[in-house]
Amino acid sequence: MAKDESGALARFGVTDRDIEQALGRVKVSNVDYADLYFEYCQSESVSMEEGIVKRATKSIGQGVGVRATAGEKTGFAYSDELTSKDLNIAADTARYIANSAQGTTPVPVTHRPALARNLYPHDRANVEVATRDRVTLLNAIDAEARRYDPRIKNVMAAYNTEYKVMLVATSDGVMVGDIQPLSRLQVTCIAEENGNRQVGTFGGGGRIGLEYFQNDQRYLQFAREAAREAILNLSAVEAPAGVMPVVLGGGWPGILLHEAIGHGLEADFNRKKTSAFSSLVGKRVASDVCTIVDDGTLPFRRGSLNVDDEGTPTSRTVLIERGILRGYITDKLNARLMGIPLTGNGRRESYQSVVLPRMTNTFMLAGESDPQDIIKSVKKGLYAVSFGGGQVDITNGKFVFSASEAYLIEDGKITRPVKGATLIGSGPDILTKVSMVGHDLKLDEGIGTCGKEGQSVPVGVGLPTIRIDEITVGGTKA
């Protein structure tokens, strides 16, 4: 399919006239902005357990979301029917917040920019992988993980793909469409030895197709990594409890940035002054070795987008520059109300959800330290390289993230693996305790999903090896 809005329009079966009329109906004089968001999404999942590829599911959804904003108010309606009648009903519902009669003058949608770039050119057949190819791949993963170590007793793996076509038409007269492929391969292994059972996981993906996993037999590497973590955890000892120095490895531990500062810098919380960061622009919130960006323009990345869900091209936004808080990530509503630049971070889970300012790929730029020196600098502490999820309370700034692979550091050396533990800190404070940043920036493998107000969107994170001088570690050993 051609990657332009006319191709997308054809799929939705609506005419320009339908769109311009519906926009006209909702964009009355006291409505500041309105948009129509059309979406078609097909997702497929094939999963394996106990050595059998036994589950295959497919989901098809399409619909339109119609939104009007007036001052701080948002009116929103959605429909899974795409007739002009349904469009008009949704437009009338969204307009309810403006307390005025329906508009009668169609809004001309004249500006139809071609995408300036394509961050994830794809071949549809390669995204919608044939089920038998997925089966082959999953079977090989099972065999590889079991071959890695006979103590691996069960292997679960799933290969999920999503093929999303979106088209947004706005009352600014802009119409832009995009095709957003997304794939993810996830492996979980359970190891058992003398009644001790442990789990290991590994996964990755992005806005890519099957060849990504096939290159250099990357899928087998996923299997070995999950198996390795499960076997490692068989010998894990109790994690320590209390305040100590922690060294975070590169890549996915960047979830620290996502929780500790990323959410707190989303414009909506700051407009409402409910974020712990609300009055801190221009102030120091990190040590001067920390520069942190949100970048939606990285090719093929899980968190990347050509345009956000309001049609704004994504960008690279500096959040923290050498320790100083520079700015927020925005959508149209919050940029307008706050009088700050639009950063292309207006995202929504689907046509059934409203746009919110959300992160894309959030990471810290590389520093100058040698990762080995960072570990050597710690007398007694924790080295954490892999994490499960995290969460933050925006208002008081307290955040957590939970390590799934971690080691003790004793006298500058990595010694024993420890069981998983949650780390807790305060967002506006924690990065002031970052004393060393490695030269080894790594982005995560492409597994992150961020939740906000019940909406999930794919995101990326990244981090070089860093040293945090003190953070509370929630282990069980005093």
Q: What part of residues 39-68 is at the interface with another protein (CB under 8 A)?
A: 46, 49-50, 52-63
Q: How far is the CB of 40 from another protein (least distance, A)?
A: 9
Three-state SS for 456?
A: strand
Q: How far is the CB of 219 from another protein (least distance, A)?
A: 18
Strands 324-325 and 466-474: unpaired
Residues 65-124 that bind another protein (CB under 8 A): 72-80, 89, 92-94, 96-97
Segment lying near another protein (by CB under 8 A), choices 106-114, 148-156, 211-219, 459-467: 148-156
* Residue 366 DSSP code: P
Q: Whose Cβ is closer to another protein: residue 207's or residue 452's?
A: 452
Residues 400-439 that bind another protein (CB under 8 A): 400-402, 419-422, 424-426
Q: How far is the CB of 394 from another protein (least distance, A)?
A: 8
User: Taking CB under 8 A as the rule, does residue 360 contact another protein?
Assistant: no
Candidate residues 35, 36, 145, 154; the one interacting with another protein per rule CB under 8 A: 154
Q: How far is the CB of 448 from another protein (least distance, A)?
A: 13
Residues 261-280 that bind another protein (CB under 8 A): 272-274, 276
Q: Whose Cβ is closer to another protein: residue 46's or residue 187's?
A: 46
CB neighbour list of residue 323: distance below 8 Å, 6 or more residues apart = 284, 285, 286, 287, 288, 289, 290, 431, 432
Candidate residues 7, 313, 412, 474; the one interacting with another protein per rule CB under 8 A: 474
User: Taking CB under 8 A as the rule, does residue 392 contact another protein?
Assistant: yes
Q: Whose Cβ is closer to another protein: residue 103's or residue 371's?
A: 103
Residues 198-237 that bind another protein (CB under 8 A): 198-199
Strands 361-364 and 460-463: parallel
Residue 97 φ then ψ, to 5° = -65, -20
Structural element, H or E, at residue 337: helix 332-338
Candidate residues 4, 192, 193, 321; the one interacting with another protein per rule CB under 8 A: 192
DSSP E strand stretches across 141-208: 152-170, 175-193, 196-206
Q: How far is CA 246 from the centre of its chain?
A: 25
Q: Tell the residue number behind the tokens 């974020």, with chain if given.
A: 275
Report DSSP letters for 298-319, one per residue: STT-TT--SB-TTSPBP-EEEE
Report DSSP letters for 409-437, one per residue: EETTEEEEEE--EEEEEEHHHHGGGEEEE
Q: How far is the CB of 30 from another protein (least distance, A)?
A: 13
- Compute, in degrees rounded to 10, the torsion defined by CA atoms 415, 419, 420, 425: -60
Q: How far is the CB of 313 from another protein (least distance, A)?
A: 26
Q: How far is the CB of 218 from another protein (least distance, A)?
A: 23
Q: How far is the CB of 276 from another protein (least distance, A)?
A: 7
Q: Residue count at the site for another protein (CB under 8 A)?
A: 81
Name which of 397, 396, 322, 313 is nearest 364 in CA terms. 322
